[in-house]
Amino acid sequence: MPDRIDHVAIVVGQLDEAQSFLSTVMNMALVREYAIPERSLRTAFYRCGSVEIELIEVSDPDARKQRLGDAIARIEHIAIQVDDIRLATARLQALGVELVSPPQLLGGRLVAATKATSSMGVMFQLLQELSKSVSG
């Protein structure tokens, strides 16, 4: 099922401080950053070899508390690139893994995420590039 790890997402309390750490201390290159106002978040992606690290800052106080708790940062999900997201999600569901939602278009890719409670306490995000074929 998995092709490769695409990125690891970390929810942070202060995006600017986290960006400074990754660029200055860890010497990682900024790949892209953007804001998603309708979801009250800003995000930045840094390159680490063939994998990216996504930093996520949530501005809505309730959503921030739910995603970050009292921590200054925490790993939110591990994103895995797959060739066929519908086949991959069907396989997971047949094995008892629950999805947050069915695959949906996000940032030019099809994306689905597992509920952490059904996948070892970790949210896994599955990504399929749109150039890959999509099963019926």
> In sequence order, which ranges of 30-113 are alpha helices (DSSP H)?
61-68, 85-94
Integer Cα distance of 121 and 77 in angstroms: 10
Of 57, 66, 21, the closest CA to residue 39 belongs to: 57
Of 44, 43, 53, 57, the closest CA to residue 14 belongs to: 57
| Domains recognised in the chain with CATH numbers | 8-75 (3.10.180.10), 83-136 (no CATH)
Q: What band does 34 get if pLDDT is binned at 50, 70 and 90?
A: very high
Integer Cα distance of 72 and 91 in angstroms: 35
Query: pLDDT tens for residues 3-15?
Result: 899 999 999 999 9
Between 135 and 122, name the one with better pLDDT.
122
Do residues 12 and 28 lie in contact, with contact meaning Cβ atoms separated by under 8 Å? no
What percentage of the chain reaches a pLDDT higher than 90?
Answer: 85
Q: What band does 136 get if pLDDT is binned at 50, 70 and 90?
A: very low
Query: pLDDT tens for residues 62-89?
Result: 999 999 999 999 999 999 999 999 999 9
